[in-house]
Amino acid sequence: MSEGLVARGIRKVRRMLGKSPASSLLSPKQAAMLRGQLEECASGLGGEVSTRLRAARLAQIYRGLGDEGRTTFLRMIATEFCPDPKAVEAAHAEYQKAIGSESQWTAESALRAALRSRRLRILTQFNALSRGVKFLVDLRADLLRLMKDDPSLRSLDRELEAQLTTWFDVGFLELQRISWRSPALLLEKLIKYEAVHEIRSWNDLKNRLDSDRRCYAFFHPCMPMEPLIFVEVALVTELAGNVQMLLDEKAPLADSKRAKTAIFYSISNTQAGLRGVSFGNFLLKRVVDDLKRNDPNLVTFATLSPLPALRSWAEKTPGIWEQAFTPAMVERVARHAHGFKVANPNDIANVLGDNTWVAHPALAHALEPGLTRLAARYLLQAKSGSKAYDPVARFHLGNGARVERINPLANTSPQGMRQSYGMMVNYLYEPDAIEINVEAFTLQGVVAASTAVRRAGRD
């Protein structure tokens, strides 16, 4: 089709909208023009050229708007292009009358057609654009942000989420290994999207992609240079218990051929607009299969994971310090508390509130048993409704992992201290136990854990 035709159409839209639509709310004239554009799109008239031209016009309008204008744009789609309630009511009545008769399936088809909103016709036409899928993913990110103040957008969000779930089915995704030789644009995306352990420099990134490391990502065919989710893996000889050591750029290079353990130390979702579209569990399974195939010496697959909500949970849970710290532990902490008055377990929170305790080995060592008990209780008992309180635990336990080991002072970065007093946890993926663990956790809420963790949570 003629790219010049699309360009001329976009220039016309710009003239109609005015020079700076992002500066304020749409004027009545601009809103009427937008409504007309959406009506044309919802009607679905014309062929491929018309479809692409309409989608390009609307995308250009949307990109030029600020938050207020985008809210108006999205609200218009959500409220003015929804299914016709009267048509749905009539179709449902006909379906009810037709149940059990020869015309039941015809009536069912008519009911489905009545329920199909014109919003969906508008959304799917963006697929005609070369980056249309990415546009819709970013549009949903706006929806998630804007609908907090505008509940009328929720129906559009649910419809778009359902559509994205279909488009991003794991069967359509491609697993790729990312290396230092990957395109620079893709490597820049890793730096941008890393959500667990910030990539501080190109040397830091190079260290994470060296011969004793692996990095894998899922890609969608329509978003070839946009990783949807990626995982970073360290190949080591035994279970890792300190992320600073894994991220140390000056540490000697390990011999990957002698490695027995693969440690998944960072998993990052990259697209805010795909919230609720789950494919992280499939990523781990595919990565384990690839590692087994290419590194047959690997026998253990585990994570070194954060406990992102531990500290906030501890600070608002009554009685938790008495459960975690025995009188003997409190007495030992008091001997090394460096000016803090520690007379009972609740005083421990004051000591921990000042992160300088990490710099005093004797005090840190005295705190370790109680903090381990605290983390064990958190992982084994803390709930949000009927689900595990910790979001990372929900992910790994729901995928069949086992809480294997709690690691004190495993991440002493400001973020690690703020989240969990520096503690991290190893989740172990044992192939023969995964299905049993998934069923027990999903149906009964049973958390699979090693004997040591279970004892720490019970003692």
Q: Which residues are catalytic?
A: 305, 396
Q: Which two tokens stand for residue 334?
A: 């008091």
Helices (H), 100-171: 104-115, 118-124, 132-146, 154-167
Residue 140 near residue 164, CB atoms below 8 Å:
yes
- Exposure string (b/e) for 336-361, b if CB count within 10 Å is 16 or more? bbeebebeebebbeebbeeeebbeee
Going by C-beta distance under 8 Å and a sequence separation of 6 or more, which residues neighbour residue 107?
91, 94, 95, 97, 98
Give CA–CA dist 189/144, Å, rounded. Answer: 22
Give CA separation, 438 vs 169, 362, 382, in Å. 21, 40, 18
Beta-carbon contacts of 336 under 8 Å, excluding residues fewer than 6 positions away, are: 360, 362, 363, 366
Q: What are phi and psi of 428, to 5 degrees?
A: -105, 130
Distance CA 158, CA 359 (A): 49
Name the DSSP letter for residue 318: T
| Phi, psi for residue 307 in degrees, rounded to 5 | -120, 75
Question: How many residues are given for the chain?
Answer: 459
Alpha-carbon torsion angle 295, 297, 302, 305, nearest 10? -60
